[in-house]
Each structure stands twice: as structure tokens, then as C-alpha cells.
Structure 1
Amino acid sequence: MTDDAAPDLRASDNDRERVADILREALAEGRLDMEEFGERLDATYRARTYGELAPITRDLPAAGVTAPAVSLTKDPAPSDDWAGRIVGGDDAGRSSWAVAVMSGFQRKGRWTAPRQFNCFAFWGGGDIDLREANFADREIVINAIAIMGGVDITVPPGVEVVVRGIGIMGGFDHREEGVPAEPGAPRVIVTGFAFWGGVGVQRKLPRAEKQRLREERRRQKLERKANRRELDASSRSASWDGGLHGLHGSGAEEHPERRDGRGGHGGHGGH
């Protein structure tokens, strides 16, 4: 079966089997759940024409064809993008320290992270968000002191993280270490001291990227619903055509009996 085949042409058993193979592969890859797989497989074996088969696999890659790689987090940022965020120059006039004593501090949004940022939290907490920040250099250091408090550091995808802090009855989060850096992305070194406190590091998407992914998932969901409606309509059409074919077949079988009956009457007339 080809995409340019006339939709009214009759499909062969081989055409239906090729569609069934695509559905089985999609089920194995997790593109379809069992319920939807069963619905589409039933529609496949009921289909009589190319036009009825086409919508069944319209949103699936062909069997044996590798689908394009799709990132569920963030597409790799080109080097030029990171180059635009590494602004260089000295740290004069930039926010380079923060203190929270029984209180809190935040550095987030559009700000420039200096080559070294020093922060101190005592019975309080701090939030350092680098997702939308510019960087004074390709390598910056965040020196965090947390005593009976905590500091949370958020980095965007693609940034390399190195954690060198020391914790006593507290600790530093090392989970984001070892993630490969994107070309041209900066390195963030987290160091310092935590006593009865902690310094956490997490990797999150920027808010604009999260919104884009939500819209993309919503669009894909609407497309799947539209495909399922089209599939249901094709299945109903195939069932209706099959019913009509059965009625026509029954009518054709009755004609010989009528002729035999008339022939019988004719024979009695001869007597």
C-alpha cells in the first residue's frame, strides 16, 4: 500500500497485514495502549479499501522505520545560543552575594551570575535560579554556607554541574553531576559547607520551554482524538458496507428458489 494509492481501490490481505505489523510494533514501543491497539486492529481487518486503512496508521511511523529522535526535555541548544548568554567582563555592579538569617533570599529571572557568588543561610533559605540567567564566564562558582538552613540551586538543561561542598549532619546534592554538557554551555561549580542543613541542586526547564511543551502535548492530544474519531467513522462505514453486501448476497440466493417455484407451477399446469 502506498500513500498515493486511490482511496477507493480495494485493499489486499497483504495490505492489511502490513498495517497490522505497524500496529504491533507501535504497541511494543509504547505508542499505543492495549485498548487502542485492539480497536485499530479490528478496524484493520474490517477495512476493504485503502481509504479505510490510511487513517489507522496516519500518526504512526512505518514498520522497520526509525522514528525521528524526540527529546522530552529540551532540544540541544546551539553553541551560539550559549555564547549569547556568556557575557564576560568584570563582576562590578553584579549581584555577587546574599545572606538569609531567619529569612530568605532569591536570585532568579534575568540576572547575571558572577564568576563567584557567595551566599549564607542561617535558620533560613535561599533560592538561586540560573534558568534565565546570563553568565559572567564559562565557569562560575557558587559558594554556599548553610547552617540549620538550606540553599536551592536550579540550573537549566545542558549546563555541567560539579559539586565540591562538605556536609556535617547535612549535605550537598550530587544527583545532577555527570550529566553531559551541551557545546558551549557553562560549568557551574557548587562548593561550601552545610551543617544541619543542605544545599540542593536540581535541573529544570525554563518556564517558556515548559509552556511550549505543554502546548505541544495539548496539540498532540487533540490530533490523537481527531484520528480516533476518523478511525471510528471508517470502522462504521466498513460495517455498513459489509451489511449491505450481506443483504445483496441473501437476495441473490432467493431468486433460484422463486424460479424453481414458478417452474413447479408450470409443471402442474402441464398436467
Structure 2
Amino acid sequence: MTKPAAGAAASPAVAERDIRASDADRDRVAEILREALAEGRLDPEEHAERIDTVYRAKTLGELEPVVQDLPAAGGRGPRPDPGGYASGPGAPVPDQNLVAIFSAAVRKGRWRAPARINAVAFFGSVEIDLTEAVFPQQQIQINVTAVFGSVEIRVPENITLRSSGSGILGSFEVETHDAEDTDAPQVLVNGYAVLGSVEAKPKRGAWIRDLRDRLRQGHRELRQQVWEEHREYRQQLREDRREWHERRRSERRERRDPFRKDMDG
């Protein structure tokens, strides 16, 4: 066997335009088209044609021409979906404060988790459930202060959970865990417990990928709805054009009839 010569060019990588388009890529381009329609840059028929192209596109290169003449594109072609755990494009989520003073504070269900959460329990209890949360960024920091109170944190099984907190005459128990996926979100729990308790651990059976699948299903249903609406719209346009042509032909016949009668007479 012969070794390749030094400095020989490696096999070329796949060009970005040839990368397969993801659902998120198509949704981003569709959003640009919706804004262009609202601003009057596209008429309804052009919008319908381009939306049809978007949802038939297989690669990023097929998506680029659809928005290259629109300022909303900002000179950027669609980027490949990193396949991570984010919910999609959106404004940064502001920090959230959960304070329980002789009371209880709970945050759970489907929500967009911010990069920083501050939890304070003073003779009260705070519950933070991230098992159904959407992670717009990879790292979330939870700062905890528990004084004669308790803070309970639950996270999905397939994320990284770490801690640098301590207990002072109290308990600070964090079940640290490293996810197998290096791109998985990381939750860092910091703070202290004074005559109180802090507990953070994965919730068995709760996987963040399940939520991502549900989001993808929601995108598919939305695309199907948009497709049906545009198909009905295009059908209506065709019918309107046929009616318009029929009226024009009828008007031309009416204008020609008097001349024919005069010639026959």
C-alpha cells in the first residue's frame, strides 16, 4: 500500500448548500416569507408558490433562492439544525426568581427555562421541575438559598447535573450526573442550605428527547395545516382566474355580435 503524498488534499467535505434541510430550517424560511407577505413584499400568489417550494426542499441549497431577494433574510442562508435540545429561534429568556417566604413557589410543566434561576426559600418551599422544560441554551445555572426552608429540583434523565453548593446545619444533596450526549444541556446547582434542605436529582423516566419529539410533531401538524390552507387558496385563485377569463370572453362576444349582425344584414 502507498501512503498519500504529504500535503495532498483531503477528500472535500460536503458543501453547506448540499446539507439536508431540517424541519427547523424550513420553519425559519417560512417565517421570513410570512413577514414578507405581511409587509407587502410578496403578493399572496408569490407567497403560496414559495411556501410550496420551502416544504418540498430537501437541502439548504434549495432553500436559499427562496429568500435571497428578501431583506428579512439578512444576507444569511438557512443554517443546519444542530439537532440539540433548543425549542427554536426566539428572544433570550430573562432570569427567573422563585421566592417562597412562609409560602410555596412552584415552577413546572412546559416552559422555556432561562439561563439563570434564583430560588430563595425562607421558612417556605420551592419546587423547580425541568422535566418538561424547553432548553433554549445549553447551560442553566440555579442559585439556591434555603434558610429554614426547602428547595426541590427535578431534571430529565438525559442531561448533565452538577453542583457546587453546601449545607450549614442543613442538607445540600445533588445527585450529580453526566449525560452521554456531549451536546446535552447542563444544569448547575449552586448555593447553600442553612437549617434547611436542597435536593436535586433526575426524575426517572423523564427524557428531554420526548419533549423534542412532541415539538417536532407539532411542527409537522402546523406545516400540514399551512399546506392545506395554501392548497385551498391556490384552488380559489384558479377558479377566480377561470371566472375572469369567462367574463372577458363573454364581453368580447357581446362586442362582436352587433358587428356580425350588421354584416349579415
**TM bucket normalised to smaller:** 0.3 to 0.5
With structure 1 as the length reference, what TM-score do the two structures score?
0.43
Larger RCO: Structure 1 or Structure 2 (Cα < 8 Å, ≥ 6 residues apart)?
1
With structure 2 as the length reference, what TM-score do the two structures score?
0.44
Structure of greater Rg: 1
